[in-house]
Amino acid sequence: MRFSIITPSLNQGRYLAECLDSVASQGVDAEHWIIDGGSTDETLSILRGRPGTQWISEPDRGQSDAINKGLERVTGDILAYLCADDFLESGVLMRVAEIFARNPDTDFVYGDGYFVESDSGWKRLKRAGEFSVERLRRGNFLLQPAVFWRRRVYERHGGFDTSLQYCMDHEYWLRTCGDTVWHYLAEPLASCRLHADAKTSRALALAWAEAAGMQARYGIHGRPARDALWMRVAGARYYTLKRRMFALIGRLRK
């Protein structure tokens, strides 16, 4: 069983080495493709210093397009994408492989994960919980880097929606969940980094608007007006304060 991990990348060089190491150290058959959108930071020098790493660097139409470029290139049985500022926990691919091997009908394996504050290293566990379509329709409870799926899902449903730049993972789960089997592995599989330059942190109102439009396609309506107002007016400040709070707690715990 071979894993194919795709990393969309753009000017995240300060985090890239940890991402690469987290895949290379898994001890399983895994290929790792980095699809870079034309970074101008240290990204390319890091990639050139890793002779076994597979990568391209060229302009793209955003993160979804980069992921799809990777999907067209990979050869593995189990697929996933891991952003350049995120990383896998130690030894998780072996455990994910065991679940797939024991459960041939399973299409997706997903698990828990951590939110990690980039400056202090303080982390908070996010538990995903058991899967249901109804839960997924209420909101994206899945931690994206902790989700893995069989190649047959991609062959049946295609790649990610390139019109989406923020909620393409949620749309993909909604699009594929109707005829797929999901298995919850109740342990941390990956870490998602919180930092000021994260795409969603910089454009929270745009991300919310995109998510609302995407959900409407699937007949998901009814976000209360007060929630919309809160997200547009106070949401960005809330997430900035939340990240700073994590950083402060991390420093105090050291």
pLDDT, tens digit, for every residue of 141-152? Answer: 999 999 999 999
At 51, the amino acid letter reads P
CB 57 within 8 A of CB 42: no
Q: Tell me what the mean pLDDT of segment 79-96 comes to.
A: 98
Comparison of pLDDT for 246 and 162, the residue scoring more: 162
* CA–CA gap between residue 80 and residue 6 (Å, rounded): 6
Q: Tell me what the mean pLDDT of segment 60-85 comes to.
A: 97
- Crossing angle of the two packed helices 204-217 and 236-253, in degrees rounded to 10: 120
Given a cut of 70, whether residue 245 has pLDDT beyond it is no
Given a cut of 60, whether residue 10 has pLDDT beyond it is yes
For residue 213, give both structure tokens: 């439009």
CB 123 within 8 A of CB 116: yes
Given a cut of 90, whether residue 197 has pLDDT beyond it is no
pLDDT of residue 248: 60
Considering the chain, what percentage of its residues have pLDDT values greater than 90?
A: 76
- Structural domains of the chain sorted by starting position, each given as residue range(s) with its CATH number in brackets: 3-253 (3.90.550.10)
**Interval 94-130: pLDDT, tens:** 999 999 999 999 999 999 999 998 877 789 999 999 9
Strand runs labelled E in the chain: 3-9, 30-36, 54-57, 78-81, 87-88, 108-117, 123-126, 147-150, 182-194
Instruction: Give the confidence band of 225 by pLDDT, cuts at 50, 70, 90.
Output: very low
